[in-house]
Structure 1
Amino acid sequence: MVETGNRYMDNVSKLISWGHWFSFINILFALVIATRYLVAADWPPSLLGQGYMLVSWLGHFSFLGFAFYLLLIFPISFLVPNEKAMRLIAVFIATVGTTTLLLDTQSFTLFNFHLNPLVWNYLFGGEGPQATNLLFIAIPFIFLLQLTASGLIWRNLKTLHQKKLGPVIATSLFVAFLLTHTIHIWADASYYRPITMQKANFPLSYPMTAKTFLIRHGWMQQNEQEKSNRHTHPGREIKYPLRAIEVNQPQPKMNVLLVMIDALRADMLNPTNMPALSQFAGSASTFNHHFSGSNHARLGIFTTFYGLPSQYWPDISDAYTPPILMTQLQQAGYQFGLFSGQGFLQPEHMQTSFNSIEQLNMAEPISPVYDGDTQAVKQWQQWLNQQNNNGAPWFSYLYLNTPTGMEVPPEFDGPHQPTSTMLQAQQAGPESLIKGLFNDYQNAVLFTDQQLNRVFTTLAQLSALENTIVIVTSAHGQEFDDTGNNNWGHQSNYAWAQTQVPLVIHWPGKTPIQVDKDTSHLDIVPTLMQGLFETTTASRYYTSGLNLFGPLKRDFILLGDEENYVVYQADRITEFTPKGNAYVLDRNYHELENAEPDIQVLMKVLNELRRFYPNN
């Protein structure tokens, strides 16, 4: 701050110097308010993660405070060189910014995501908590606080300048900002979840990543780092189950066979596409509106074995926490037979569902896929013959993949013609090729049905159906642009074609039922736990699902992936993104105009997704 004799420049210089200190004071205000994020967020389990949280808190809000100064107050200083007017404008800007930050902390405390139109409507639409309205009472106090700070800084500007504290403070805050991003670059490249799990804690936070750059230049090996840090440095601590499981039947005698077919749509369960399964379903319980927990294999399998929503997958996987169902089966002395032509090297099998099973098949996938399925069924038949002689109860898992590859053996005479290969040779148009692809898929489904017929025949020949629970379902569906949105395969949307799957359950001693209510993969675990082991522990302590043979009273079913929440209700689908945006669609996956998301349902969903975290 140097006197030049030019009144305009002297005023601007003084205002800029004042603006620096005013911004610093507001950084301190922001840091105090932002401690609410530290309280509401999930604290990382490691000391390094906790240290990073504090550094990023300091660095991020220092940056935000300086950015607001640079973008707003600094340019206005040149346009309004009058001291009183400029200070008043800055006080108004700071009051708005501080109030917005306070509201955002309220949003994060309630929902775990930041302020957006959806949250705003909830907080101030009459449904929000009374505490939110009380925040507005703070506005006059914030304004007076800013006004007081403005005056004190202006009166002591020369003293502050003489102490030369500015460069020291600015350097310290800048170092914290740099550390925030450089440490995150390392953590992202190293798959260090105690740090990367924090990326959405603060508003307007976009920590830097450089994983691709580091791999390209040979400075890191992706697979080695991922395997090492995901196991030794998991993310949030999870408590699963919430209580010890108590049972009335610790050693049931019933066998369990779970057949998981990848990419099997619900509408394939008919006498034309799957005659064997349709015939089997005629004397079994069929759930006609059943949904996977997600739209791809990993999370579809996870939700089946854990009975938990997909959002729990990262922390369950990182901690190598086994499913309570498998633990209970092991404690009951069950023999295990796990069969898949693709092996069990995938994380959904090796890290989670079967991480406590020693005799896991670590073989490489067999190609083509249909050969793998044929061999898996053959190995299962051989194994079952051995089990039939030793008398111990068994659990068997058979994973079939042919529908995903949409290929069948050359000698298999598929009835659905022409195939895509024929149409490509004929240079057919796009519409014909689509029909050809669907024919490929239907032929693959029919081939899979023949493998199921081998399974059912073997069970019947060994008289195993009399004491074996047989569950046939799929990890996810398969779309052929059914919604008209140019979506194919799976993992691209949450329409019925990608998420609705067959569920057939043969349970000796139970009268077969036809269920037309919405059911979910999350319901399989409580059904087995209550039906097999007669658990006395309430299902809410170990699952988010319901017993399929009990009262299915629910407001919605929950699908999604690690970040997105998808809520299926009777008349609508609502998709919530990690940032709190919501999209409301009908059950045919077409957007509903002027439809508002049900905030009360969102609150229930968020509570469900926090239940198994002990710090929430």
Structure 2
Amino acid sequence: MNPSNSSLPYFRGVPLLVWCVSFALLMLHGLPALNGAVQIGYFTAATIAQAALLALPAWLLVRGASATRPGWLRFSLLALLHLYAVGIVLAIDANYQIYALYGFYINGFVWNIISTPGGLEALGFSNSFYVSSALRVLLVAAVYTAAVRWLPLARIANTRPVRAAAAALPLVFLLQGGIYAYADHTGEQQILQSVQRIPWYSPVTAKGLLSKLGVERKRPELDGSLSRRKGKFAYPAVDAQSIVLDKPYNIVWLTSESWRADMLDPRIMPKTYAFARDNVHFLNHYSGGNGTRMGMFSQFYGLHGNYWFDALPAERPPLLLETLRKNSYSLMAYTSARFSYPEFDRTVFRNFSPEQLHSDHEGDPWQRDIRNVSKLTTFINSAKQPFFSFMFFESTHANYSFPAENALETDYLEDFNYLDTDIKSQISRIKARYINASHHLDSQFARVLRALKESGRLDNTIVVITGDHGEEFMENGRWGHNSTFVEQQVKVPLVLHIPGQKARTVERMTSHVDLPITLLSAMSRLQGIDKRQVSLGHDLLDENYRHDYLVVSDWHGSGLIAEDLKLVLSAKASDERGRFFTRNDQPLAEADAAALSRRLIGDYLRETPRFYSRRGKSGGQPSLAAP
């Protein structure tokens, strides 16, 4: 359309169109989750205000175009108007698609996925997903074009009722904002929970003003919004050069994406299960988080996941790998994803050279795993000893990848398209894909173990087999991971082969943070070194091993897991399900858990700052030099 003065009336009604469509989408997705007149009434007012905020950029663009003479600037403003109008509708739809899958909207975590190389790849989109996405874009663009061209939007926008409604918007903003501020101050959960169905809702609080007015504030008996510790990131607290390895065992470390504990089963993974039976098998082992970032970070650093946000800008590698490097280990790492997402090339493997990092991200994940295992076994057979090798397997990541010969479950969903698949109704067939992918994973673990045995190096090698985190299949209302701290999302297998250790199963609760100190203790007497300065974990093989609680983390906070209580401190995870649970995820009343919660929080607040100093800001220490 020619952006002349005569064409402007076509576009003056676009803000009204954006408001109407935004309001309709927000109401359509939000109302089914609400109960009672109070929630519905407040949600409606908040939705009116949110739709107006979403329409505001369109209104500003129209105003700018109206005040500008025909030319390139007006053309640019109107082009932006069209892009914004179509884009905001697609963004609202995408928010609800993401929420349905994972329980959160587009946020900093999602932006990290989009903006980091390898992030979108890691989501495992099928080809049909991209086709469906393109069709949605074309459909929305076509409907928008028809509405702007054929509906009398400008005339409707200029009618007295619409203008009166627009004039009343400031009052609606003040009213819904004031109600929310009061509800936040007094703990009215009906109001607070209703806006969780509105993407990008910006709450208004007024605790100071309401307190001055004499309104009593209701504080939760336990405040779960514990922030990360302040101060300088003081890790490592031990010089890697000072650790002498008395028993420089080789290390083969195998980590699989989204591999939950119950997949290590004699039917699904017979070869790995047989290896576990002959070594040390931990039956109640927990990742350090419900996502790859926290799961990988905790198993190599021995720190809680919330330390990630300091380790990344500091680009500080883990003490364990630095110790190996300074003891002249041959180092090699393989991944069937990318080392750039999450940013492990800047953290865990910060001091590996490019030649020591091998990433394969072409083709199906099961094919990548096969190719990488071939490279890994070649390295094992030829490496100068002692050596460290790591591999990250991708087959068990959604949408769960396997060759036809590994279809242990035959009734599986053949095309798992995130946009078009009804997750809830198809969850058993989706899980069948996951079981098949785990069965394929078993064959690849077996190839690595066979190479170690045939080369005669198993007797002088530590083998670690684990997952970065788990995977849920609607057992507690969600699919996937990165949403809550339920058992299926945070409990993973752990099998350790350490020369000289007898085969046994370990039933006590254990954690990823225990792995670095366990391996270092197996290889060194750590003379003159306080083990508390090595990590927040404990030696898994120590007879006096004990954790009163374990820590799991996500992008937004942490959770504490004890034998008799699971306490959720992450704002995101607690909004999703609540804060107090038994270890097997049955809800608890706050009053029933308060005493134990206070003790756990007290212990957590004393322990977790161990690797922060009070001087200066985090990240101030210089990075260790690359080799």
The two structures have a TM-score, normalised by structure 1, of 0.60
Q: d(CA) in 1 for partners of 2:424 and 2:223?
A: 45
Q: Paired residue for 2:473?
A: 480
Offset, 1:351: 1.2
- Of residues 220, 236, 243, the one that matches 1:117 is 220
Q: Paired residue for 1:611?
A: 610
Note if 1:546 corresponds to 2:526.
no
- Of residues 378, 388, 392, the one that matches 1:382 is 378
Change (3 A) 1:412 1:118: same
Q: Paired residue for 1:322?
A: 317
Change (3 A) 1:305 1:421: same
- SS class of match (1:420): coil
Q: Paired residue for 2:587?
A: 591
Q: Paired residue for 2:365?
A: 369
- The 8 Å contact of residues 246 and 535 in structure 1, kept in 2 or not, is answered as no
Offset, 1:411: 3.7
Residue range with higher mean Cα deviation, 359-368 or 511-520: 359-368
Offset, 1:413: 4.5
Alignment of 1:293-308 (within 5 A): 293-308=288-303
Change (3 A) 1:95 1:407: closer
Which one has the largest radius of gyration?
1
Change (3 A) 1:416 1:580: closer
Q: Paired residue for 2:564?
A: 571
Offset, 1:241: 2.3
- The 8 Å contact of residues 260 and 488 in structure 2, kept in 1 or not, is answered as yes
- The 8 Å contact of residues 417 and 436 in structure 1, kept in 2 or not, is answered as no
- The 8 Å contact of residues 286 and 504 in structure 1, kept in 2 or not, is answered as yes
Counterpart amino acid of residue 556 in structure 1: Y
- The 8 Å contact of residues 292 and 300 in structure 1, kept in 2 or not, is answered as yes
Q: Deviations over 1:547-605 (max 9, x none)?
A: 00012222111111244220101111001146998811112212112423321210211
- Of residues 530, 534, 539, the one that matches 2:521 is 530
Q: d(CA) in 2 for partners of 1:542 and 1:402?
A: 33
Q: d(CA) in 1 for partners of 2:492 and 2:228?
A: 33
Q: Paired residue for 1:173?
A: none
Q: Paired residue for 1:5?
A: none
Offset, 1:381: 1.4
Alignment of 1:78-97 (within 5 A): 97=212
- Of residues 503, 507, 514, the one that matches 2:498 is 507
Counterpart amino acid of residue 591 in structure 1: P
Offset, 1:347: 3.6
Gaps in structure 1 of 5+ consecutive residues: 1-67, 73-92, 105-114, 122-196, 202-234
- SS class of match (2:382): helix
Q: d(CA) in 2 for partners of 1:345 and 1:540?
A: 30
Counterpart amino acid of residue 378 in structure 1: S
- SS class of match (2:323): helix
Q: Paired residue for 1:277?
A: 272
Offset, 1:341: 2.1
Q: d(CA) in 1 for partners of 2:249 and 2:494?
A: 20
Note if 1:332 corresponds to 2:327.
yes
- The 8 Å contact of residues 558 and 568 in structure 1, kept in 2 or not, is answered as yes
Change (3 A) 1:118 1:421: same
Counterpart amino acid of residue 282 in structure 1: R
Q: d(CA) in 2 for partners of 1:439 and 1:401?
A: 17
Q: What is the aligned residue count? A: 400
Offset, 1:534: 2.1
Offset, 1:607: 2.2
Q: d(CA) in 2 for partners of 1:580 and 1:278?
A: 32
Q: Paired residue for 1:557?
A: 550
Note if 1:405 corresponds to 2:402.
no
Q: d(CA) in 2 for partners of 1:323 and 1:270?
A: 32
Gaps in structure 2 of 5+ consecutive residues: 1-177, 183-207, 616-627
- SS class of match (2:369): helix
- The 8 Å contact of residues 406 and 437 in structure 2, kept in 1 or not, is answered as no
- The 8 Å contact of residues 302 and 348 in structure 1, kept in 2 or not, is answered as no
Alignment of 1:181-580 (within 5 A): 237-244=232-239, 249-250=244-245, 252-358=247-353, 359-361=355-357, 363=359, 365-387=361-383, 390=384, 392-421=385-414, 433-483=426-476, 486-536=477-527, 537-550=529-542, 551-577=544-570
Q: Deviations over 1:11-58 (max 9, x none)?
A: xxxxxxxxxxxxxxxxxxxxxxxxxxxxxxxxxxxxxxxxxxxxxxxx
Offset, 1:406: 4.3
Change (3 A) 1:347 1:248: closer
Q: d(CA) in 2 for partners of 1:462 and 1:371?
A: 24
Counterpart amino acid of residue 538 in structure 1: D
Residue range with higher mean Cα deviation, 557-566 or 259-268: 557-566
- SS class of match (1:472): strand
Q: Deviations over 1:412-441 (max 9, x none)?
A: 2412121112899xx999776221111111
Offset, 1:348: 4.1
- The 8 Å contact of residues 523 and 546 in structure 1, kept in 2 or not, is answered as yes
Q: d(CA) in 1 for partners of 2:254 and 2:517?
A: 18
Offset, 1:247: 5.8
Q: d(CA) in 2 for partners of 1:428 and 1:345?
A: 29
Q: Deviations over 1:103-149 (max 9, x none)?
A: x9xxxxxxxxxx9423589xxxxxxxxxxxxxxxxxxxxxxxxxxxx
Alignment of 1:120-135 (within 5 A): none
Change (3 A) 1:615 1:460: same
- The 8 Å contact of residues 250 and 388 in structure 2, kept in 1 or not, is answered as yes
Q: Paired residue for 1:218?
A: none
Offset, 1:535: 1.4
Offset, 1:335: 0.3
Q: d(CA) in 1 for partners of 2:228 and 2:254?
A: 38
Offset, 1:385: 1.9
Counterpart amino acid of residue 369 in structure 1: P
Change (3 A) 1:100 1:334: farther
Counterpart amino acid of residue 540 in structure 1: R
Counterpart amino acid of residue 503 in structure 1: L
- The 8 Å contact of residues 287 and 502 in structure 1, kept in 2 or not, is answered as yes
Offset, 1:410: 4.7
